[in-house]
Structure 1
Amino acid sequence: MILEAVMLNVKHGMEQDFEGAFPQASNIISSMNGYISHELHKCLEIEGKYLLLVKWEHLEAHTIGFRNSPEYQEWKQLLHHFYDPFPTVEHFEPILIFR
């Protein structure tokens, strides 16, 4: 399992529109091969800041499968205009899991 972590900075005044568009984008990403789950968190201290966490079966499910798909073009159309600056995407692999 790979965890994709993305800090999203949504342009001031566009937070409601972003949150309104995200459920449709969620339908897109959740239909992809290799997708496990995702979460969107809103920062309590900084307005317009969100954390997106996506679990993938393997790195290529995201970097190749999703990013090279027609569905990714829909995702971009729905969400990318909200961000400033454009976010950096990072991937993590688990080394310790506690339950």
Structure 2
Amino acid sequence: MSDSPVLEVAQLEVLPGSEAAFEAAIAQAFVFLQQTEGYRQHQLQRCLEHPQQYLLLIQWGSLNAHLVNFRQSENFVRWRALIGPYFAQPPQVLHYQLLTGSP
């Protein structure tokens, strides 16, 4: 597994009418990301055309920081317990590595 920084991109779709409750729940859940070794920062964006769809971007110090430090921890269990009930379907999660860009 990679030891270089990665960007986790999660596409989330919530149940119709649950957007406000989901946003409140995930705001509380972010503390569990922030307590995880290797976490760097995150962004949550909401789709304008489809308000039940969200894009969650999380920067990790490495792929292991996400897959091991977070996904195999009690922080993930707590995270999922807060936000999982709002999902209309399982999130699609992919990992990206920066090839080029500007600061």
Counterpart residue identity of residue 88, structure 1: Q
Q: Which of 80, 85, 93 is matched with 1:89 structurally? A: 93
Residue pairs, 1:58-73, within 5 angstroms = 58-73=62-77
Residue pairs, 1:7-18, within 5 angstroms = 7-18=11-22
Residues matched between the structures, number:
99
CA deviation map 1:3-43 (0-9, x unaligned): 00011101101101001111111111011000000000011
Residue 35 (1) aligns with residue 28 (2): no
Q: Could you tell me the TM-score, scaled by structure 1's length?
A: 0.96
- Give aligned-pair identity as a percent: 34
CA deviation map 1:65-86 (0-9, x unaligned): 1011111110010011111111
CA RMSD of aligned residues (A): 0.8
Provide the C-alpha distance between the structure 1 equivalents of 2:22 and 2:89, rounded to a whole number of angstroms. Answer: 15
